[in-house]
Amino acid sequence: MHDERRRIEERVARLHNQRIKPAIYAATTPLAVEAWQAPGEPVPFDEAAAAPYEPFAMNTPWGPPWGTTWFRMSGQVPAEWAGKRVETVIDLGFVGDWPGNQAEALVHLNDGTPLKAVNPLNQYVPIANPAAGGEEIHYLVEAASNPDILAGDFAGPTPLGDVLTAGDQPLYTFKRADLAVLDENVWHLDLDIEVLYELMLELGEHDPRRHEIMHALDRAMDLLDLDDISGSAAHVRAALAPVLSKPAHASAHTVSGVGHAHIDSAWLWPIRETKRKTSRTFSNVTSLADEYEEFVFACSQAQQYEWVRDNYPQVWARIQESVKKGQWAPVGGMWVEADGNLPGGEAVARQLIHGKRFFIEHFGIETKGVWLPDSFGYNAAYPQLAKLAGNEWFLTQKISWNQTNKFPHHTFWWEGIDGTRIFTHFPPVDTYNARFSGEEMSRAVRNYQEKGGATRSLAPFGWGDGGGGPTREVMERARRLKDLEGSARVEVEHPDAFFAKAREEYPDAPVWFGELYLELHRATYTSQARTKQGNRRSEHKLREAELWATTAALHAPGYSYPYEKLDRLWKTVLLHQFHDILPGSSIAWVHREAEAEYARVAQELEEMTAEAVAALGGGGARVFNTSPYDRAEVVRTAEGTPAYVEVPASGSAPVEAAEPAQPVTVDGRVLDNGLVRVEVAEDGTLSSVRDLRANREVLADKGNLLRLHTDLPNYWDAWDIDKHYNNRYTDLLDAESVTVVEEGPLIAAIRVERAFGKGSRITQTITVRAGSPRIDIETDIDWHEAEKILKAGFPVDVRAPHSSAEIQFGHVQRPTHTNTSWEAARFEVSGHRWVHIGEPGYGVAVINDSTYGHDVSRTVREDGGTTTTVRLSLVRAPRVPDPGADQGRHRFTYSLLPGASIGDAVAEGYALNLPLRVADAAGAPEPVVSVDGEGVTVEAVKLADDESGDVVVRLYESRGGRATGTLHTGFPLAGAHVTDLLERPLNQADIDGRGGVTVELRPFQILTLRLERAATGR
């Protein structure tokens, strides 16, 4: 047989695209359209319904950036359309085919009932099937003219990312608002051809099935009457039916399809627009559920459900009904799909707590899995936290974006730092926006790593990132692919069903230990530094407010624990941990609002904490320690006078001058407190840091070396830092001044001022305090660079085979060598409050109060010694998608801690991030809880969320070894239970003869205790 593939493929493609697709709508008639441009921000339906409308013609420009235009549409179904399937078709002037980053609209009836949204791939609104003819159509359409931030493929900065800079020129030209007859035969023929044609192209050129499909398509095209597409469509479909009905091979891979609509809670649009996106997508999804009884839609992010509940009650009611029918699957059990690296441990716990509680309360459903497809890496504490929240499985997708190494598994057990394992799946289709194309189905099978061990994978299908969700066309594809020779089988089902089947067939799946590091988007540890600082400080202020509110509730008559306020503020912070807000990868508008929200949260928490402390009664200055460790350090009183104080963990003490072992002295540019001696060079770097206790020099070269690198990644400016950034840099060695600004005896400090780059300035105050080996570097930057990154380096004279970086509820160790491509790819990594390096017998920690990104490297010197260098990433200057990212003022502190063990790093990390508080109070009561036992660290103290008055304490083993200890309470104890994260009892805790709770922890184990107060206590 002659090879006619090219002729046939080109013939089918032309007839399909140029003749069949245009015939899907058999007849159309225009609607009458009027318009009203809403001034400023979006308005409620009732206000829009009462507004004055003016006639609006097709092909008219409309929509300033971030504007809202309401369109009033009316018409009547022609009588001759009786018995046919009639729809409205609306084209706002869409650009491209991505629904989420351009014009979108929600169609309402005149009474305000939301019907359905329209977007590029979902332009129809159903009217009647069959129509009676004569139906009156009246719509109010809320159209959002959101700008296309991705235009130009991220090639350069745009002012469109903020309503303050976007201008007011119309962005779109309205193309169509018609009543139309859907020719179902032609529509189904279009889908038949599409599925077969795409499958054919994926099959091997020597596969008989490919040739069978090809010739069937060729013969079918002979039956197509070009003058009567509609009349011949049924005959063409009949000719294709035999090749569409052949069943899949017995060994065919099974793809579990789960409807999905990834909606970023903010990204290339502000939060206010996400609230509207949820209504649009969820209206479409519930409408689709009415058409396809087998449809199942998985939806995460309790925050988005709450927005719909509060703003779109009719859509909310439809969601509740779909949940009851089993077509809507709440998943994920988190408040938002948060970043996987940056939120603190307690914050990740609260994400799970608030998310799962929402679904239990509103749907009676306890979600079983963590649904987190699009975060930029996943911390190694997740398995334990997920299991403690009652989850059985974990789903991710983003690891497929790895720049260097292909992740070796798709179905596996993920083991966390404490040893907890959770069954995990990573869909081989390599997208969470699948549409069941031939290429996707082929990729899922070809890419699947578990061949021979398992036979099934999951595919989230539907348009996403900016919402949109599944379409009827995708559902039709799923039906055709349910059992089709040459393709994987598609089975639309609940993700819980997939995970149950996958685990049953593959119980001995391989194990991956430790973090799921994404070899891409490493700059998200640093971009938008003020947003990250707001998160870090909010987390610690929430801890502080809860501790002292609990103390006041237990001991201050008349004080009421602020349940509602804390709940609301926690949810605000959790929202801003979304994986495009906290990572710094959103438009300017998002980060401008985030900074304002963090300021509001800080003020409210400050007032809450002050109120709680004041409730304990006045009587003199006291110092309050929120840290879980005893502290002996210098604090400034309300008058600004330094005082050396000793304060118990989670407790308070009077501001009474204790005596440090030795005062701090200044000799030129040398600061000495008997523990460390710090010499500042003329260029402002640290020329020497000598640990006087160990009698050794800490530095191998200039310390606190500020290095300015050129930073232009190949793509994704705000997200990525590529390895070549390290090839071009300038060391900042020209200090304008090096000045002693404080001379002891309790505090000594030297200030270094520099100017550099394009008008940037940096002022650093290097401080040594009596009684502490910690050297603080308080930093004030006025930053005006573009496409640069500033790092601060500490070359330490230790031979460290690995570094340890704090993560949620523990730490991870990473090699400092680059033996393999996996290690070399970790040239920029994340950590929380500290990084530790060491050799047997000696270690050094670098501590910070708001920095997450860092790198660790090592070299061998000519003298044979090893230099291990820790460099903190301080601030970046990407221009896309926010051209003003990080510009302006930044204030933060980082510290060098010589002679540090891991335990020292943990304690000082808490200390730097939880400054001592000085306030007027009477003799404060003993701490709510205290713990003896090394490595047992209290992370949270609060009252139980059910308002029972029980005290909830979350603690963990922080050093990486086994720990035993006793938890003592500052109130009479009636009983104690170990609980899950949702504070539900699991088993009774052991109470010793003196009323203490016995604690035994494996390395990095998290333990939540619920403490019942005795009746004699308040």
Q: Which residues are catalytic?
A: 374
The pairing of beta strand 124-128 with beta strand 842-848: unpaired
453: nearest Cα among 499, 399, 409? 409
Write the CB contacts of 835 (distance below 8 Å, at least 6 apart in sequence): 803, 804, 805, 806, 845, 846, 854, 856, 870
Q: How far apart are CA 268 and CA 466, in angstroms?
A: 8
Q: How far apart are CA 526 and CA 208, in angstroms?
A: 54
590: nearest Cα among 669, 674, 530, 546? 530
754: tokens are 């520099």
Residues 684, 752 contacting (CB under 8 angstroms): yes
Q: How far apart are CA 399 and CA 432, in angstroms?
A: 12
Q: How far apart are CA 13 and CA 477, in angstroms?
A: 18
Strand stretches in 547-664, DSSP E: 621-624, 631-636, 642-647, 652-654
Angle at 71 between CA 66 and CA 75, to 5 degrees: 155
CA distances to 51, 108, 109 from 46, in Å: 9, 11, 12
238: tokens are 């009949």
The pairing of beta strand 254-259 with beta strand 456-461: parallel
CA 295 to chain centre: 27
CA 943 to chain centre: 28
Burial of 167: CB neighbours in 10 Å, binned 0-12, 13-18, 19+ = exposed
Q: How far apart are CA 390 and CA 379, in angstroms?
A: 18
Q: How far apart are CA 666 and CA 678, in angstroms?
A: 10
Which helix (DSSP H) or strand (DSSP E) does residue 897 occupy?
strand 888-898
Angle at 213 between CA 208 and CA 217, to 5 degrees: 150
Name the 3-class secondary structure at 140: strand
Looking from the CA of 121 toward its CB, the CA atoms found within 13 Å total 19
Token pair 């890419």 is at which residue? 447
The pairing of beta strand 747-756 with beta strand 760-769: antiparallel
The pairing of beta strand 696-697 with beta strand 686-691: antiparallel
Write the CB contacts of 893 (distance below 8 Å, at least 6 apart in sequence): 776, 777, 778, 779, 848, 849, 912
- Tell me, letter by letter, the H, E, C secondary structure of 481-511: CCCCCCCCEEEECCHHHHHHHHHHHCCCCCE
CA distances to 223, 228, 603 from 636, in Å: 89, 88, 21
- Tell me, letter by letter, the H, E, C secondary structure of 518-550: CCCCHHHHCCCHHHHHHHHHHHHHHHHHHHHHH
Q: How far apart are CA 562 and CA 553, in angstroms?
A: 9
Identity at 188, one-letter amino acid code: H
Identity at 892, one-letter amino acid code: F
